[in-house]
Amino acid sequence: MSQLIECVPNFSEGRDLAIIKQITDALESVAGVKLLDVDPGAATNRTVVTIAGEPNAVIEAAYRGIAKAKELIDMRGHKGEHPRFGATDVCPLIPISGITMEETVEYAKQLAKRVGETLQYPVYLYESAAQTPERKNLATVRAGEYEGLAQKLQNPEWKPDFGPATFVPETGAIAIGARDFLLAVNFNLNTTSTRRANSIAFDVREAGRLVKTTNPNGTVNETREPGTCKGTKAIGWFIQEYGIAQVSMNITDRNQTPLHIAFEESANSAWKRGMRVTGTEIVGLVPLSVLTDAGKYFLKKQHRSTGVSEAELIKIAVKSMGLDDLKPFDPQKKVLEYFFRDAANQPLIHLSLKDFVNETASESPAPGGGSISAYMGSMGAALATMVANLSSHKRGWDDQWEHFSNYAEIGEALATQLLSKVDEDTASFNKIMDAFGLPKGNPDEKAARSKAIQDATRYAIEVPLSVMEAAVKVLDLCEAMANEGNPNSVSDAGVGALAARSAVLGAGMNVRINAGSYTADEAWKAETLSYCATLEQQAIVKEAAILALVATKL
């Protein structure tokens, strides 16, 4: 999944489970959307639901949930401890991976426009989606709550961003926005004292602590001493289940304070106060980048290469922050992106080496030369990355560890990209076969079938072309490693170049054979074939230069 967002709608019903179930059923009715959490509260009379998926699917699901809540919830009799002003009170979108906040804001506006116009719901945009500074803060937008909404809607300054400025007693209003992921985390301490845990919380949370000073005349001044972690809230508490105190923290802005920095600051404060952070407990799910960024941070502190696999980065993060201190930490159950990683869509790269060879040798036409070319390219990138990592850790080259670490990161990214093309190339072949299987009983069906075949064929050209582009970059990395890297591994750089060159030429054959049946855009085809020839020539020249360089060092 290239883009992943989370949505956390809050519905003003926390007691009637039948109503809550109908709303969550509406949310789950959209393919590709996963229901991650349902948290009803009787005292608040409010249910917080968490869903995630591809952006278009998520905003469709959110719309259906809002529509169902409008149908089932009557605000005229609603009472609860939590502030609220509508049947669906708030609905934030949160970028998780592969998508910027700016893009997420646009999806929030799409949803808000549809809700306002189709459901005739007064909609206010808030947080990052707010169109004026005054509406950024949710508390300001919701001020006066449901009871003051009728008067608020009459005020021109509070005209909704979308929908009518009309008070509908049954429905109220809704705030739709975009915000960063809220990371809930607890830092475990080797103490049972809540007071001492609070002292650490006050040291690190953005709000800090109140400091009282007495003037000579006896008056008392109160000033606030800010904490070290911006974008965080924290408090100390004792957990009976574990028999320890914790610093419980919400990280509301991961850009200002990543998890690993919050951990480090808490650990430093604890140490100064005679305590120790023994581990970290992540509450709920977490975006993958939180762990990979932490892994890179701790590797850099050790002056070790960060160009290692995703799994290795997670392992370093787990061990460095003690994520398995209280219970085993399973990334498959804690990382948001892994909930959407469908092994069925990547069947080849999950095979063993032996099974992959046997599958290739079978009478099935896929995987074929395109997938093998992508795999050869990924192996070339892996060899270049290995040389970079060995060079980064070579005794006597300590002052160059970061230089080679940067090379290793480039290689790891190329290897991952090319590995993904192994299955994508096979999928592109299957798209062509599916298109040929479409009905052709009348002129409209024939036209649709012909277009589908041409679209699939173009895709089957674009995939190996992207393999060629990536493999040429692998050759550049191999050249750098043959020239600068650990001389004991120069032959590995050479073999990497052989694999990368083969990937370019092999993928080029796939471009050409598929282009032979593509007629929808002859100008694009001619340009693509010319570009293909250029990449092939570059690969041949680069490989020859690398092998000559390797020969001088053997």
480-486-491 Cα angle (round to 5): 75
Is there a contact between 3 and 54 (Cβ–Cβ < 8 Å)? yes
Beta strands 88-97 and 46-53: pairing type?
A: unpaired
Which ranges in 133-258 belong to alpha helices (H)? 138-141, 149-154, 194-204
For residue 407, which of 320, 324, 484 has the smallest C-alpha distance? 484
Residues written for the chain: 554
Cβ count within 10 A of residue 49:
23
Cβ count within 10 A of residue 292:
21
327's CB contacts (< 8 A; 6+ apart) are none
Is there a contact between 549 and 483 (Cβ–Cβ < 8 Å)? yes
- Which residues partner with 518 through β-bridges? none
Please identify which residue in the block is written with the tokens 């560890």.
401
Phi, psi of 4 (to 5 degrees): -135, 125
- CA 287, 292, 293, 295 dihedral sign is positive
Q: Is 403 in the active site?
A: no
Which ranges in 393-489 belong to alpha helices (H)? 401-436, 443-484
Q: Is the peptide bond before 439 cis (omega within 30 degrees of 0)?
A: no
Task: Please tell me which residue in 16, 78, 82, 476 is annotated as part of the active site.
Answer: 82
Which ranges in 485-521 belong to alpha helices (H)? 490-515
Is there a contact between 85 and 145 (Cβ–Cβ < 8 Å)? yes
150's CB contacts (< 8 A; 6+ apart) are 167
Q: Tokens representing 501?
A: 């060159």
Q: Is 425 in the active site?
A: yes
Cβ count within 10 A of residue 213:
9
Reported for 542-548, long-range contacts at CB under 8 A and 24+ positions apart, including other chains, are 542/472, 542/475, 542/476, 542/479, 542/497, 542/501, 543/475, 543/497, 543/498, 543/500, 543/501, 545/479, 546/475, 546/478, 546/479, 546/482, 546/493, 546/494, 546/497, 547/494, 547/497, 547/498
> How far apart, in whole angstroms, are the C-alpha atoms of residue 107 and residue 91?
12
> How far apart, in whole angstroms, are the C-alpha atoms of residue 554 and residue 548?
10
> How far apart, in whole angstroms, are the C-alpha atoms of residue 359 and residue 365?
10
For residue 299, which of 405, 415, 412 has the smallest C-alpha distance? 405
For residue 142, which of 128, 156, 122, 162 has the smallest C-alpha distance? 122
Task: Please tell me which residue in 161, 180, 423, 425 is annotated as part of the active site.
Answer: 425
Is there a contact between 430 and 371 (Cβ–Cβ < 8 Å)? no
Residues labelled catalytic: 82, 425
